């Protein structure tokens, strides 16, 4: 099919997006343009999150068009905003777009997309991980401000962040899901303390964060008092799509590491049994990729549905199995880790060696919701199975026993 024939088969939406991408790449060639300038121009043309409303980095179009935009931009050498700001792009941006005031959207979305302001997500606590609704960090109204106290943990890239999406308990007399409220918090405020958490990779991309009488103006609330649980669901569903819903090219992504290791392996290690294992994992990776394509096509504009938990759960187990196989194929070389110096990484995306990736993917079945939580979500909300036993659903949070 000729280029002219292909163009004639495009829908009006697709032609509009294609023309805007052409204009962006012609006016601001990625090779000659500062990445932040390029991303700002991409945002202004509605090509940042194409399903967002116009003026908020989008065009109000079908979200599946974003994949086409990204493929063309990346093929031309354009910057990937997710590399620098993965939590902001994948989770906080969509939440601000869904729940923020017009002032908040105008203030935060563009510099978030360009990477000028990094974001983090302040949800988990030492006593509230899988049972996120049981969190104890508090917010107390004081005039037109809220005074927040408490501790958050496993906060990715908090050490680089300008702003964070914070959930605190503002009504302890309500049931645990109903007494939560969401805020945008300034991570540079002197009352916010950030401490590194060193991982077994040697890095410290995670942090624990302490709030000591941190004052947040009511204008920085997302939604209304008590909307925190619904706001957090928007974030969590986007997080699961972000973690497990990526759609790499066929044969790329984590499975490419195994294929490369197999090609480079000592012939003595390339046994028929190990080849069979490699092919099984390649097939699982391709099934996962095709499933994510189908789920992405079925996504509605706005909040993702529970289907994002499928890709997240499947990818967690798959990634661990792939990198275990990589270590097997590498043989004794897989034991050579290199430097174990603690560093504060600039991104949470990717690992520079297979050995580091093998250690890092251990977290995939925990971060973004444990695989056990994913199974409950899929059983109850997708398959319609009876809900898990919950004895504290109707009990005020202040009366729920805690350690």
112 by Cβ neighbours in 10 Å (0-12 / 13-18 / 19+) ranks as buried
C-alpha–C-alpha distance, residues 195 and 137, integer Å = 17
C-alpha–C-alpha distance, residues 245 and 399, integer Å = 38
C-alpha–C-alpha distance, residues 129 and 206, integer Å = 14
C-alpha–C-alpha distance, residues 359 and 344, integer Å = 17
C-alpha–C-alpha distance, residues 164 and 266, integer Å = 47
C-alpha–C-alpha distance, residues 168 and 183, integer Å = 8
C-alpha–C-alpha distance, residues 31 and 33, integer Å = 6
Which residue is catalytic, options 125, 208, 220, 239? 239
Q: Is 299 helix (H, G, I), strand (E, B) or coil?
A: coil
**Residue 350: φ, ψ to 5°:** 80, 165
Q: Name beta bridge partners: 186.
A: 163
The 3-state DSSP composition of the chain as helix, strand, coil percent (nearest 5) reads 50, 15, 35
Q: Radius of gyration over alpha carbons of the chain, in Å?
A: 22
Q: Is 193 helix (H, G, I), strand (E, B) or coil?
A: strand
CA end-to-end span of the chain: 66
Half-sphere exposure of 301 (CA within 13 A, CB side): 14
C-alpha–C-alpha distance, residues 223 and 221, integer Å = 6
Q: Is 239 annotated as catalytic? A: yes
- For residue 81, which of 32, 40, 28 has the smallest C-alpha distance? 40
C-alpha–C-alpha distance, residues 163 and 345, integer Å = 18
Tokens for 126, please give them.
């030492």
Residues labelled as active-site residues: 239
């Amino acid at each position: 099919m000729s280029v002219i024939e292909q163009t004639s088969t495009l829908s009006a939406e697709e032609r509009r997006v294609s023309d805007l991408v052409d204009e962006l790449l012609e006016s601001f060639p990625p090779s000659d343009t500062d990445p932040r300038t390029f991303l700002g121009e991409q945002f202004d043309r509605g090509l940042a999150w194409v399903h967002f409303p116009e003026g908020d980095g989008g065009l109000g179009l079908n979200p599946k068009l974003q994949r086409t935009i990204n493929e063309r931009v990346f093929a031309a050498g354009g910057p990937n905003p997710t590399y620098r700001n993965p939590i902001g792009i994948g989770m906080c941006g969509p939440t601000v777009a869904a729940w923020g005031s017009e002032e908040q959207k105008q203030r935060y979305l563009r510099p978030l997309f360009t990477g000028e302001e990094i974001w983090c997500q302040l949800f988990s606590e030492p006593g509230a991980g899988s049972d996120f609704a049981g969190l104890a960090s508090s917010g107390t109204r004081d005039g037109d401000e809220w005074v927040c106290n408490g501790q958050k943990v496993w906060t990715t890239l908090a050490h680089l962040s300008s702003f964070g999406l914070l959930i605190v308990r503002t009504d302890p007399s309500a049931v645990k899901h109903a007494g939560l409220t969401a805020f945008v918090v300034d991570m540079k405020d002197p009352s916010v303390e950030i401490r590194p958490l060193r991982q077994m990779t040697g890095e410290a991309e995670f942090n624990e964060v302490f709030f000591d009488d941190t004052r947040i103006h009511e204008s920085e609330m997302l939604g209304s008092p008590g909307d925190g649980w619904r706001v957090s669901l928007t974030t969590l569903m986007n997080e699961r799509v972000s973690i497990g819903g990526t759609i790499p090219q066929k044969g790329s992504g984590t499975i490419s590491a195994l294929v490369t290791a197999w090609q480079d392996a000592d012939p003595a290690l390339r046994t028929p049994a190990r080849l069979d294992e490699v092919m099984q994992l390649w097939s699982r990776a391709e099934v996962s990729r095709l499933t994510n394509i189908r789920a992405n096509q079925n996504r509605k504009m706005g909040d993702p549905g529970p289907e994002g938990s499928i890709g997240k759960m499947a990818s967690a187990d798959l990634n661990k199995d792939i990198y275990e196989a990589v270590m097997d194929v590498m043989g004794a070389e897989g034991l050579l880790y290199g430097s174990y110096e603690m560093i504060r990484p600039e991104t949470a995306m990717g690992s520079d060696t297979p050995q580091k990736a093998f250690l890092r993917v251990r977290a995939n079945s925990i971060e973004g919701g444990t695989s056990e939580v994913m199974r409950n979500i899929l059983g109850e909300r997708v398959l319609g199975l009876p809900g898990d036993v919950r004895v504290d659903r109707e009990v005020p949070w202040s009366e729920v026993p805690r350690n």
